[in-house]
């Protein structure tokens, strides 16, 4: 079955550094990957979408890559700030269904 | 602009009691609608989705059901709650497109505790 995996361990980084989160998928080839941010007690908020024919997508301090050979997407936050602390979820979409990874909790230390 | 409303924000219900969670979307027409559940520290589990009035697709067999009585209204129900139904329930909508690249827009969720 389709599976999308993220590192379930929390990631702690120092303010100002680049945070890199990983999303791996198996048993299928999604045409799109999406990244969301979720704060405690809130619904996820859409951040970025990348298509399979796009190697890289940027939005302000955010960058997403999509490697169809490795079946992996990387999500980078440059010049990280304590306000970036949250859980980040990747998701794939197809045939109306959106399948989410378990999310990686990021904590940016001041 | 589009908005999604989900209520109540928190709910404590005894085992065996019924459940009704409601979600409405404003500012868009014919959205695709979704119910997800998130257990503590876990990912989002897709429960139901709907691409039109009266059209419900179930992803996980359980004692929950969903209905879409109006274009922008999505209801999650149960006749008898189980302890395992506790969790964070999220409603979401996406534009009705066939290109599968529309982002999901989530409500703020309902924290359900079954006691």
Question: C-alpha distances in angstroms, B103 versus A10, B41, B42?
Answer: 25, 23, 21
Averaged pLDDT, groups of 10, chain B, 115 residues long: 92 97 94 92 88 89 90 96 95 77 92 96
Name residue, tokens 């809130």: A42
Give how far A15 is from chain B: nearest CA, Å.
25
Which residues from chain A sit within 8 angstroms of residue B101, using beta carbons? 31-32, 49, 51, 93
Averaged pLDDT, groups of 10, chain A, 110 residues long: 83 96 87 92 94 91 93 95 97 83 94
What is the token pair recorded at B75?
A: 């209801």
Query: Of B18, B40, B52, B54, whose CA–CA distance to B87 is shortest?
Result: B40
| Domain annotation for chain B: domains and CATH numbers | 3-114 (2.60.40.10)
Instruction: Give the count of domains, chain A.
Output: 1
Cβ-proximal residues to B71 (8 Å cutoff; 6+ apart), any chain = B29, B30, B31, B53
Instruction: Determine whether the interchain pair A42/B109 forms a contact, defined as Cβ–Cβ distance below 8 Å.
Output: yes
Confidence at residue A32, expressed as pLDDT on a 0 to 100 scale: 87
Give how far B106 is from chain A: nearest CA, Å.
5
d(CA A88, CA A38): 6
Question: A37-49 burial, b for 16+ CB within 10 Å, e for fewer?
Answer: bbeeeebbebbbb
Contact by Cβ (8 Å): B47, B19: no
Give how far B68 is from chain A: nearest CA, Å.
16
Instruction: Determine whether the interchain pair A93/B100 forms a contact, defined as Cβ–Cβ distance below 8 Å.
Output: yes
For residue B104, give the chain A residue with the closest CA: A46
Q: What is the CATH number of the domain that holds A12?
A: 2.60.40.10
Give how far A35 is from chain B: nearest CA, Å.
9
Range of the domain at A79: 3-109
The Cα angle at residue B10 between residues A39 and B6, in degrees rounded to 5? 75
For residue B46, give the chain A residue with the closest CA: A99
Chain A interface test: which of B68, B100, B107 (most A C-beta within 10 Å): B100
d(CA A10, CA B6): 29
């Amino acid at each position: 079955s389709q599976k999308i995996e993220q590192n379930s361990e929390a990631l702690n980084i120092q303010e100002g550094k680049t945070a890199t989160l990983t999303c791996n998928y198996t048993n299928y080839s999604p045409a799109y990957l999406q990244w969301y941010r979720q704060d405690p007690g809130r619904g996820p908020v859409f951040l970025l979408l990348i298509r399979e024919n796009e190697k890289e997508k940027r939005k302000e301090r955010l960058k997403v890559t999509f490697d169809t050979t490795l079946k992996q997407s990387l999500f980078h936050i440059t010049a990280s700030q304590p306000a970036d602390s949250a859980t980040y979820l990747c998701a794939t979409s197809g045939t109306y269904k959106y399948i989410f990874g378990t999310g990686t909790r990021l904590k940016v230390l001041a | 602009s589009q908005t999604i409303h989900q209520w109540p924000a928190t709910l404590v219900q005894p085992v065996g009691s019924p459940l009704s969670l409601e979600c409405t979307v404003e500012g868009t027409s014919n959205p695709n609608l979704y119910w997800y559940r998130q257990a503590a520290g876990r990912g989002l589990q897709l429960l139901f989705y709907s691409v039109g009035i009266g059209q419900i697709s179930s992803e996980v067999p359980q004692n929950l059901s969903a209905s879409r009585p109006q274009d922008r209204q999505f209801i999650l129900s149960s006749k008898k709650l189980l302890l395992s139904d506790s969790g964070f329930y999220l409603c979401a909508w996406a534009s009705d497109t066939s290109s599968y690249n529309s982002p999901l827009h989530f409500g703020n969720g309902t924290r359900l505790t079954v006691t």
